[in-house]
Amino acid sequence: MKEQKRRSRGLTIILLLLALLLLAAVVWGVGSALQKLMAYSQDTQIGTQQSEEEVPGQPVEDAESTIPDALEGLPRNRYEPSGFYSEDGILRYETDSVEGVPGIDVSSHQGEIDWQQVKDAGIEFAMIRVGYRGYETGELALDEYFTHNVEGALAAGLQVGVYFFSQALNEEEAVEEAEYVLEQLADYEITYPVIFDWEEVSVPARTDEMNMLLLTACAKAFCQRVEEEGFRAGVYFNQAYGYQQFNLLSLKDHIFWLAQYEDVPTFVYNFQMWQYTNEGSVPGISTNVDLNLCFWSKS
């Protein structure tokens, strides 16, 4: 009987130890799973934040944390918040060394424009869309209002620059786009930059597989071809594209045109043009219009 009790007690102890081991394994597994779940949740939030940046000008939260170390060689944004002011409803900028010139950018979406009214309202330059490449067909097309806009703006005495909506897949297509733009500019006096404007579209497109390396190469090829003909060239981007999609260090010799819809630009790196709203109102234009500042050194 005593031997049986000892065996029973031993078995109970063994079962208890096994139960404790099993409980420890469960607790460890749950903890590990929770850690993985938390990590996955953080990754998902970051991914969502980046995908929402398809809208030009939409702000990036915690921008400093998104900056690649490789970009540390770029000049920093030195624009002083106190230098921005409004005059007759138009945003301006002035410090001892830099002046901000007010402008707009337009395309066929604005329809007919009374350019003299635009000029009289205090607008000094216009960035006009030359055309675009189809995101499905890949065909090059002229903006239907390009000729009307460029001739009207020049006749009213505005300084004019242009941009092309690119969907280039490679450097060869980017150069093709540049040459198309140059052909359209042959008869006009263009004094402001010629801009490479590449953006994601919200539907399936031929450019869905683009990456930073290829996109930067396309932008550089476009700009270099344009500058071979004596124009200043540049790249349009919002904060997300500036931090995450373009290698700006490779493009630092060209004009940067930033889209950030805030009262004061907080983008970390230097830029020469700033699109600060897409809901502007200007006499002579019946729709909302993008408003810009171009920063020029006084020296």
CATH number at residue 293: 3.20.20.80
Selected residue with higher pLDDT from 23 and 266? 266
- The reported pLDDT for the residue numbered 202 is 83
Q: Mean pLDDT, to the nearest integer, of 38-55?
A: 29
- Burial group, residue 59, by CB count within 10 angstroms (0-12, 13-18, 19+): middle
Asked whether the predicted pLDDT for residue 61 surpasses 70, the reply is no
Asked whether the predicted pLDDT for residue 118 surpasses 50, the reply is yes
Do 94 and 233 lie in one domain? The reply is yes
Band (22; pLDDT cuts 50, 70, 90): low
Residue type, 47: G
Pairwise CA distance, residues 45 & 279, whole Å? 28
**pTM, two decimal places:** 0.78
Asked whether the predicted pLDDT for residue 190 surpasses 80, the reply is yes
Do 11 and 119 lie in one domain? The reply is no
Do 169 and 45 lie in one domain? The reply is no
Q: What is the mean pLDDT of the chain?
A: 83
Do 43 and 151 lie in one domain? The reply is no
| 65-68: long-range pairs with CB below 8 Å, 24+ | 66/240, 66/243, 66/244, 67/243, 67/268, 68/243, 68/244
Do 255 and 276 lie in one domain? The reply is yes
Pairwise CA distance, residues 102 & 93, whole Å? 9
Least confident of 95-104, 122-131, 203-212: 203-212
Selected residue with higher pLDDT from 112 and 26? 112
Number of separate domains in the chain: 2
Band (245; pLDDT cuts 50, 70, 90): very high
Selected residue with higher pLDDT from 19 and 156? 156
Do 239 and 217 lie in one domain? The reply is yes
Do 123 and 246 lie in one domain? The reply is yes
- The reported pLDDT for the residue numbered 23 is 52
Do 98 and 18 lie in one domain? The reply is no
Which range, 15-29, 52-66, 177-191, has the best average confidence (pLDDT)? Answer: 177-191
Which residue range forms the structural domain that includes residue 39?
Answer: 1-54
Asked whether the predicted pLDDT for residue 39 surpasses 60, the reply is no
- The reported pLDDT for the residue numbered 124 is 97
Do 163 and 78 lie in one domain? The reply is yes
